């Protein structure tokens, strides 16, 4: 038996195995760490969501959140309006009450105003449509418009069933908004669910 040879071989492979395990663990930890860094250092932004049955949020299931800034009228906003499906875009947001509003959509990242934030998203679709536009007084006009569907990676939210029961359930008519933290790269992470402006569910590390 060549004891030296047989002893060295598993060690070499063992150390490679250790490196593999460490790399895998580090990647998984980085996923959590990046999100936590976003929550702690990001700009808090309140986003309005399109009407959703409030109770479905608290029944221990995935909720598909549809944001107001998920449908943007790009012909009216500042920035680029010749966007195409699949493109990465930067959406300029300015504070509003109760929710923040999109003011521009850009291909290249704009410099955020001191009070604003820039959110990164991806174009799902672009459509030429007919939009209602309120004119003077109560009259409305139908005008051609250009709408982009944009997703930001914060569209699904999972509420654990056990916790959902503990929370006070909002009733119909109460307003639900989502507060996200937007980091320097423009990546958002959901930090709280607001009911009538008050945080109902706050996200943390554990």
Which of residues 32 and 143 has its CB atom nearest to other proteins in the complex? 32
Which of residues 16 and 143 has its CB atom nearest to other proteins in the complex? 16
CB of 49 to other proteins, least distance (A): 14
CB of 161 to other proteins, least distance (A): 5
DSSP 3-state of 175: coil
Which of residues 19 and 143 has its CB atom nearest to other proteins in the complex? 19
Which of residues 56 and 140 has its CB atom nearest to other proteins in the complex? 56
Residues 6+ apart with CB under 8 A from 119: 45, 69, 90, 91, 93, 152, 182, 186, 188
Chain residues in the site for other proteins (CB under 8 A):
2, 5-6, 9-10, 13-14, 16-21, 23-25, 27-28, 31-32, 35, 60, 84-87, 122, 151-158, 160-162, 187-190, 203, 205-206
Q: Is 45 exposed, middle or buried (0-12, 13-18, 19+ CB in 10 A)?
A: buried
- Sign of the CA dihedral running 176, 178, 98, 48: negative
CA 51 to chain centre: 17
CB of 5 to other proteins, least distance (A): 5
């Amino acid at each position: 038996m060549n004891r030296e040879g047989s002893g060295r071989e598993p060690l070499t492979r063992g150390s490679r195995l250790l490196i593999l395990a460490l790399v895998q663990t580090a990647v998984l930890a980085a996923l959590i760490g990046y999100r936590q860094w976003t929550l702690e250092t990001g700009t808090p932004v309140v986003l309005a969501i399109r009407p959703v049955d409030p109770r479905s949020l608290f029944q221990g299931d995935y909720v598909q959140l549809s944001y107001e800034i998920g449908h943007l009228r790009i012909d009216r906003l500042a920035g680029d309006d010749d966007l195409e499906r699949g493109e990465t875009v930067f959406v300029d947001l300015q504070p509003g009450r109760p929710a923040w509003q999109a003011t521009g959509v850009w291909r290249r990242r704009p410099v955020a105003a001191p009070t604003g934030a820039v959110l990164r998203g991806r174009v799902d679709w672009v459509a030429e449509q007919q939009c209602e536009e309120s004119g003077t007084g109560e009259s409305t006009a139908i005008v051609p418009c250009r709408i982009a569907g944009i997703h930001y990676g914060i569209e699904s939210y999972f509420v654990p069933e056990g916790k959902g029961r503990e929370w006070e359930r909002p009733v119909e008519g109460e307003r639900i908004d989502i507060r996200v933290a937007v980091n320097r790269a423009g990546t958002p992470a959901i930090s709280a669910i607001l009911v009538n402006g008050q945080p109902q569910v706050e996200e943390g590390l554990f």
